[in-house]
A and B are shown apart, each in its own frame.
Chain A
């Protein structure tokens, strides 16, 4: 099976694993708000799973602290391929207000490859859904590239 078909199948059922890399919990609450009946992410086949082994998307919140750096890397390697990484919140994207902090190793993309950044402090649920749509678009553009190449 070629990559394009694989990615298409994946985009209909995205299971997300959420990892807190030193967040203040605001982004985590917004992720939960995305799953509530008002925004209902499940209608796109998105659901939260409890273990990285089941996940397709890694949702990383918070600026990466020195302490959790290795664990984030380990969780990233525990997710089976193919996988996407989505950073939720300004801290993880740019280190936010923690620029000068000695305890922060972030931003997240210094540790693991990131596909989509969702800025905001915290981002609204609409923004998180938009970020996942961006991830889909990335999948689709990969599909097109793949089709053009073959």
Chain B
């Protein structure tokens, strides 16, 4: 039994322990937080993980280099394409090949579409967590359109599995460019609605401003990445630090904010959605002709050594660490998942807050639990 052997329910005078999760509406999955409360004020938070630990790392040790990629779609299921991209890039690094330009550009477009859809889901659930149900449906309107594009080109809406080492699994659908442009137009028009509905709402601003302050030193020390860290002024965008795929071909800004609170985390993500639209717009008309896949051997064998690939998922830095002993399946695989590190800062942020703030902090950190548990 989890948490029962080394059970810790010790409380001071006037305190009590409450278990938020594993089934709770605002933990977005099966995260279990043991919270020490004094009235409404949080004294201590202790996360309990592993409710959906599927040991993807152990499984991958017996899967081939072609197959282990698809297990990662189930980690951060909102950014399945980007997880796949990280693995494909890591294997390509080991093989010392590079995907053809067409594949690289399409990967980037799909990654940014993924980022948009992920941020839209985050926006929807942030509203929901703070008690505003309506934003949910507004965000899903555009998200559906993006998932339809994914469905058409990749054959799946959520777990795309569109990548193989060396490029794409298939060429893009003929409608891809046309539909993407339509969706971008729709999204750009609807950003205004997003702001009117939630960003400019006084209650929302009061709920998020000065809540969950994460300073730059802590962000760095806790290994916090992604928009959560960038809202604390910590530059950590892997797309800028170590460009991969087609990110060196496009111009975009790394969004930084010095606010350090939940509201600036919110604003960073809102601005990032606009940057994603910007990136796709630069690429969508410039998809190079040519092959979509580099020829690889049927059984891929990586040379002996370590290969590390970092990519930027909507939630932060994902690292794929492959240790190869020359066989056809990896000797050891480690996923450095962004949510795992981002979660570790939650107990610090939640200290002294109210229960309502805990919900606001969790939703602006944007945790995806399967990615934590792997």
Same assembly: no
List the interface of chain A (C-beta within 8 A of B).
Answer: none
List the interface of chain B (C-beta within 8 A of A).
Answer: none
